[in-house]
Amino acid sequence: MAHCGKNYILLQSFFMALIEPIIFTDMDGSLLDHDTYSHVDADELLAWLRNKQIPVIPVTSKTRAEVLVLREQLNNHHPFIVENGAAIFSPVDYFKHGIRDIVEHDGYQLKEFVASRAHWQSILDNAGTHLNEAFISFAQAGIEGVVEMTGLAINEARLASQREFGEPLKWLGTEEQFDAFSQYVVTQGGQLLHGGRFVHLSGCCDKGLALRWLLSEYQQHYVGKNIVSIALGDSHNDTAMLEAADYAIVIRSPAHDYPSLNNNAYQHVYKTKQQGPRGWVEGVTHVLNHLGYKD
């Protein structure tokens, strides 16, 4: 029996060496607390993940400027996905193989999925008075308005306002106006995504599309290993990302119900009991236990 037990441990270690988990995480309401934007409750687990060299990929509605600050606070040096999947920024030389369809941008390799912010602002400008009165954009609100809408400090609001690939909107109108506005946006080649607080106008992209593109690069990076994708999110705009991952962790929100998923029969879905970063720890620990990474 002792011999069999030793063989089992060796076999388990062999399979563990072949598995490479990659964590894709929403930020607001997931890794960051919904109200305070704090990540302190997840810091211990994040340090453990760094020690195990398990990548944690921010996938967020936030801007590049915001994520750069957060990555420094989190001691995170991995690629990141911004503005609801509109673009991926990867540190130069992070991937040793040649990356397809990218441009060099401020020390990062940039993959863009949509047009620039100016394009989407022009679409808003041409929406018509009856629709323009139904929302206020970040650009219209200005820094002080963004502070009021988000509760962010003024320096944080400046970072949040540095959109590059789309425009957040605070919706003020009726459901009928929203339906008309949605139809107008579609005719212009755009789409609307609901986040935790705002509606985001951009092109035909989502967090799931960006996740799949980045996963394909990791598959070339980790040759011979079985990549296991783990996604965490709490909102409707996380749905595509959650559905694209092998393991979906749906984090309980204080503001709304769990987003519904059209998961396939092979996907593992876990809904947390805890909220925010505590739910993040709960979910990641559950999946890593399932994979045999944590006791």
Same domain, 86 and 212: yes
- pLDDT, the chain, mean: 90
Q: What is the pTM of this model?
A: 0.88
Question: Which of 173, 202, 231 represents a domain boundary (last residue)?
Answer: 202
Question: Which of 182, 202, 222 represents a domain boundary (last residue)?
Answer: 202
Structural domain includes residue 227:
yes
Same domain, 136 and 245: no
Question: Which residues are identified as catalytic?
Answer: 26
Read off the pLDDT of residues 1-52 as tens digits, 9 standing for 90 and up: 444 445 434 334 444 557 899 999 999 999 999 888 899 999 999 999 999 9
- 109 CB neighbour count, 10 Å cutoff: 19
Alpha-carbon span 12 to 271, nearest angstrom: 27
What was the pLDDT predicted at 96? 84
Structural domain includes residue 9:
no
Please state whether beta strands 247-252 and 226-233 pair in parallel, antiparallel, or not at all (unpaired): parallel
User: Who's near 275: CB < 8 A, 6+ residues apart?
Assistant: 29, 33, 34, 251, 252, 253, 254
Same domain, 109 and 238: yes
How many folded domains does the chain comprise? 2
Structural domain includes residue 12:
no
Amino acid at 58: P
Please state whether beta strands 108-112 and 167-171 pair in parallel, antiparallel, or not at all (unpaired): unpaired
Same domain, 259 and 284: yes
First to last CA, the chain: 23
Structural domain includes residue 139:
yes
Same domain, 123 and 198: yes
Read off the pLDDT of residues 90-131 as tens digits, 9 standing for 90 and up: 999 899 887 777 888 888 999 999 999 999 999 999 988 778
Alpha-carbon span 84 to 276, nearest angstrom: 19
Structural domain includes residue 241:
yes
145: tokens are 């308005």
Same domain, 128 and 108: no
Alpha-carbon span 278 to 295, nearest angstrom: 18
Say if residues 152 and 103 touch (Cβ distance below 8 Å). Answer: no
User: Would you report the helix, strand and coil content of the chain in percent, each value rounded to 5?
Assistant: 45, 25, 35
Q: Is the pLDDT of residue 196 over 80?
A: no
What was the pLDDT predicted at 170? 95
Report the candidate in 81, 166, 157 with the shortest Cα–Cα distance to residue 122.
166
What was the pLDDT predicted at 58? 98
Q: What CATH number does the domain containing 53 carry?
A: 3.40.50.1000
Host domain of residue 262: 17-113+208-291
Same domain, 22 and 154: no
Q: What are phi and psi of 267, to 5 degrees?
A: -95, 140
State whether residue 244 is helix, strand or coil: helix
Q: Is the pLDDT of residue 177 over 70?
A: yes
Same domain, 141 and 277: no
Same domain, 130 and 45: no
Structural domain includes residue 7:
no
Better-scored residue on pLDDT, 98 or 57: 57
Same domain, 64 and 144: no
Structural domain includes residue 177:
yes
Same domain, 163 and 78: no
Alpha-carbon span 38 to 42, nearest angstrom: 9
Q: DSSP letters of 180-236?
A: HHHHHHHHTT-EEEE-SS-EEEESS--HHHHHHHHHHHHHHHSTTSEEEEEEEE-SG
Same domain, 169 and 34: no
Q: Average pLDDT in the 222-232 region?
A: 92
Q: Which residues pair with 154 in a beta bridge?
A: none
Structural domain includes residue 1:
no
Q: What CATH number does the domain containing 164 carry?
A: 3.30.980.20
Question: Which of 172, 202, 232 represents a domain boundary (last residue)?
Answer: 202
Alpha-carbon span 8 to 69, nearest angstrom: 44
